[in-house]
Amino acid sequence: MIGVIDLHVLVTGVQTDRLALLADAVDLVALALYLTGVRRLAGRGRRWPLSATAAFCTGMACIWIATGSGLAAYDDSSASVHVVQHALLMMVAPPLIALGRPVTLAIQAAHRSSQVRLVKVVHSRTVASLTYPVTGWFLYYGTMYACLLDRQVYRYLLQHPLVHDTSHLILLVIGYLYWQPLIGGDPTRWRLSQRACVISTTGGAASELILGAALLTSHGPLDPSAGAVLLASAFVTCSMCGAVIARRPLRMPRLPALDTRSMGPVRALGDQ
């Protein structure tokens, strides 16, 4: 898959099809809700970290670049652009969103009744299963291999635009499930040690290198340029993981106590 890229379209282009506009609307709603939470905390005399707000906003911007900018115009015609899009949705935007700590902000900024409902969701078995680090790891790299190496999966995505666009949301969610336990900004049942984080990221980097090498030798539906991009993204991922792990808090945020009788505020997150 080789396409000629117009630099003007790549830099200044904007996607205006219905699905792209719907994705833009969802991005704007998420951003508005986040900033509303920050403002509500400020109204209560509590200051939300500027670094967290900047990380979340940057993550949302990366999502728009991947799905709504001129980059998205070439995701089905240029192998390298296709891999860059996947990297933005799985390797760049999710860790930035996790650094923004949206779950913590939502619980702190919500009214008491909403706090209880949110805490119930955090305590649920479904969330515990989805956020289990081993599950996230295999979903993350299994999806990466399926999308980039399996010719049938790849061709099906290109032939069905709705499924292709839906896969972008799936990639983003899977990316968040992988990165959230590593970063540890929001409350979670699973607390990874530094050693576990190193093992996870080292194994992941090795998987990306193997996949990049396979693409370089044309053992997949994409041309070799995609392999070079993936190898570069593996290096970037390792650098990001090292920086994140080095700054990772020694004490992970606790799951807030679930007290539906008192309907009291969630104190476990009050000082995060």
Residue type, 20: A
DSSP characters over 114-127: HHHHHHHHHHSHHH
Written as tens digits, the pLDDT of the chain (272 aa) is 545 677 777 777 888 888 888 989 999 999 999 999 999 999 988 899 999 999 999 999 999 999 989 888 887 777 778 888 888 998 889 989 999 999 999 999 988 888 888 888 888 888 888 888 898 899 998 988 888 777 788 778 878 878 888 889 999 999 999 888 888 778 777 777 778 888 888 888 788 878 777 777 765 555 556 666 666 666 666 666 666 655 555 444 555 544 444 334 444 454 44
* Entry pTM: 0.81
| Nearest-10 Cα torsion for 49, 245, 177, 113 | -30
Owner of token pair 């999308």: 147
Are 140 and 204 contacting, i.e. CB atoms less than 8 angstroms apart? Answer: yes
Backbone angles phi, psi at 69, to 5 degrees: -95, -170
* CA–CA separation, 18 and 67 (whole Å): 12
What is the reported pLDDT for 78?
A: 74
Domain boundaries along the sequence of the chain: 13-250
What residues pair up with 69 in beta bridges, in sequence order? 14
